[in-house]
Amino acid sequence: MRTVVGNEVRFNSLRGLEINTSTCTRCRLSATRKNVVPGEGPEKAELMFVGEGPGSEEDATGRPFVGRAGRLLDQAMKEADIRREDVYITNLVKCRPPDNRQPMEDEIDACHDFLVAQIEFVDPVIVCTLGATALMRVLGKRGISSHRGRIFRLSGRIIVPTFHPAGALRNPLLKPFFLSDVKEVGRLITSREAYGKDRRDQTLFG
Ligand code: SF4
């Protein structure tokens, strides 16, 4: 069984990692969460969605993207012929930021090992980042409007940034772009274009 070592933690499996997060107190978000929301999906998946952090319904259930934003993500996946059960879905931080504020930089840093290990275990061909914060953390780029829907290659994986579905709910003008970006992700998977280049066994984030 593969072992992934972060700065301070060691995981023997994806499920072990998910269990490990349930007792994590590495950042202040542990004090206010009801449930940790590590992520869900198969142990190997061609596609991983990375959002920012859990909201209130996710905090209550321990499952990612089950609230209004999650329902829009479900709609986007359905229109793109992507089955939710085939996809791994997670966030930059695994605990809900109070009042649905954005996660702070040091909270994202504290949770970073979990995300890196999840990517290594799940080994997705495509990572679709949801929102500006996930774009910044994964690709180091600012400006979600100018980067959304574009295809980037990083460490042997394809990265497709798009808007966060919560943003598309707040601003309906963004919704068609969000839906078409996820549709493009579905097209990449079914066309196998994403598999055309050599994939190296490396992690994201260099
Ligand atoms: S957000 Fe991440 S680092 Fe912070 S307490 Fe939750 S699991 Fe731990």
Query: In this structure, is residue 38 part of a structural domain?
Result: yes
Query: In this structure, is residue 155 part of a structural domain?
Result: yes
Query: In this structure, is residue 51 part of a structural domain?
Result: yes
Question: Is the pTM here over 0.75, yes or no?
Answer: yes
Please tell me the residue having the least CA distance from ligand 1 atom 4: 27
Angstrom distance (rounded) from CA 56 to CA 98? 9
Q: In angstroms, what is the span from residue 29 Cα to ligand 1's centroid?
A: 6
**Pocket lining for ligand 1, CB < 6 angstroms:** 21, 24-27, 29-30, 36, 93-95, 107, 110-111
Q: What is the CATH number of the domain that holds 44?
A: 3.40.470.10
Query: In this structure, is residue 200 part of a structural domain?
Result: no
Range of the domain at 102: 15-193
Query: In this structure, is residue 203 part of a structural domain?
Result: no
Query: In this structure, is residue 28 part of a structural domain?
Result: yes
Q: In angstroms, what is the span from residue 21 Cα to ligand 1's centroid?
A: 7
Query: In this structure, is residue 104 part of a structural domain?
Result: yes
Please tell me the residue having the least CA distance from ligand 1 atom 3: 111
What are the pLDDT tens digits along the chain (206 aa)?
455 555 556 788 999 999 999 999 999 999 999 999 999 999 999 999 999 999 999 999 999 999 999 999 999 999 999 999 999 999 999 999 999 899 999 999 999 999 999 999 999 999 999 999 999 999 999 999 999 999 999 989 999 999 999 999 999 999 999 999 999 999 999 887 766 554 544 444 53
Overall number of domains in the chain: 1
Query: In this structure, is residue 10 part of a structural domain?
Result: no
